[in-house]
Amino acid sequence: MKQTYKINGMSCGSCKQTVEKALQEVTGVSSVQVSMNPPEAIVEKADSVTLNQLNAALSKAGNYSIGEEEPSSTQKNKGGCCCG
């Protein structure tokens, strides 16, 4: 299944690479394409891969998360792990 997710916390090319690598390492994910504008990831994955698994991988990699809408105040403009 291919799904597009909005990614919160990305602010530079390094963030993009970190997010891409973190998502690719989730068991059951077969491909990942991350873009900065808009900040999103297109993830091809097994049906068994959950949103919680993807978010856990992003959280472990830095201050990133999957969001369905723009966060109201929490780290809207803060970078993930490199851009503070």
Q: pLDDT tens, 24-47?
A: 999 999 999 999 999 999 999 999
Q: Identify the pLDDT of residue 67.
A: 87
Residue 80 resides in a domain: no
Instruction: Give the total number of structural domains in the chain.
Output: 1
Give me the pLDDT at residue 5, please. 96
CATH of the domain at 21: 3.30.70.100
Q: Which domain holds residue 26?
A: 2-68
H-helix or E-strand containing 82?
Answer: none
Average pLDDT by consecutive 10-residue portion of the chain (84 residues)? 95 96 98 96 97 97 81 42 63
CA distance 81 to 63: 6
Task: Judge whether 76 lies within some domain.
Answer: no
Buried b (16+ CB within 10 A) or exposed e, 17-51: ebbbebbeebeebeebebeeeebbbebebeeebee
